[in-house]
Homo-oligomer: A and B are copies of this chain.
Amino acid sequence: MSGVSTEDDGGTDPRRVIELLWGVSGPPRRGPKPKLTTADVVRAGITLADAGSLDAVTIRHVAEHLGVSPMSLYTYVPGRDELLELMIDHVRSELPTPEPGLGWRAALTAIAEAAWDHFHRHPWLLEAATTRSVLGPHTFAHYEHELRAIDGIGLDDVEMDSVITIVNGLVRATARTSVDAARLVRASGLTDLQWWERAAPVLAGIPAADAANFPLASRVGQAAGETHNAASDAAHSFRFGLARVLDGIEALVSERQR
């Protein structure tokens, strides 16, 4: 099995990854001085991913960026999948720690907005895995901050976890739409409108795709696509959805407090 997986993992021993995530340096060194550190490799990976996409983060590419032979990277990182895990955790350190005074609703909003920005600053996060087997330090700390935002408002532990999960899910889903739209514009060199103007006549030539067969979808799709462009529409979905979710949580909370 080779693999450009971005997915599996889990069959391997988690020990090494945990040590790398948490920065355990290990016993004193004996051989020649390393040219690099694991952090160098991780930073290089992040730089390349930010500039391009996850596909740009190849072992060879990262090595070239660091002026090192490809195989020497395996000194610092067990493999590509593990590098991605380290990148994901490292980049999460950029997320701000929410100020403590806020109420749960303002705090959750701030967290969601920060995550939204975060996904736009590092779009490759959306391509990478969601659920990782082992939490890194920054992921762990961020989870702690998220929970602190909704602590003591009357939810039980499992509900708290669920609330965080659904808010993050909302952000991820809408950010993905937003980023995909932006990527499409950049890749095709056309704006949304131009792209659709080009695709529309092809679709129009197909009887089965007639708007009469999908009246609602055609109307709503046009409304969502014409008023705004797709990118700002995703932003609207995000804010609208967040308001709905928070309202839903609020209903539960006030019911509990009564």
Contacts and interface: CB of A to CB of B under 8 A. Distances in A.
Given A5-B55, A158-B224, A219-B157, A165 B177 contact: yes
Contact of A237 (B157, B161, B177, B243): B161
A134 interface: yes
A3 interface: yes
A194 B20 CA distance: 22
Contacts of A24: 206
B151 A216 contact: yes
B151 A209 contact: no
Given A22-B209, A243-B248, A248-B251, A8 B133 contact: no
B184 A133 contact: yes
A137 interface: yes
Q: How many copies does the complex hold?
A: 2
Nearest to A8: B187
A176 B172 CA distance: 12
Given A24-B206, A206-B24, A143 B217 contact: yes
Interface of A: 3-11, 14-15, 18-19, 22-24, 53-55, 127, 129-131, 133-134, 137, 140-141, 143-144, 147-148, 151, 156-163, 165-166, 168-170, 172-174, 176-177, 180-181, 183-184, 187-188, 195, 198-199, 202-203, 206, 208-209, 213-217, 219-221, 223-224, 227-228, 233, 236-237, 240-241, 243-249, 251-252
Given A18-B202, A161-B233, A243-B248, 5 more contacts: A133-B184, A147-B220, A162-B236, A166-B245, A172-B173
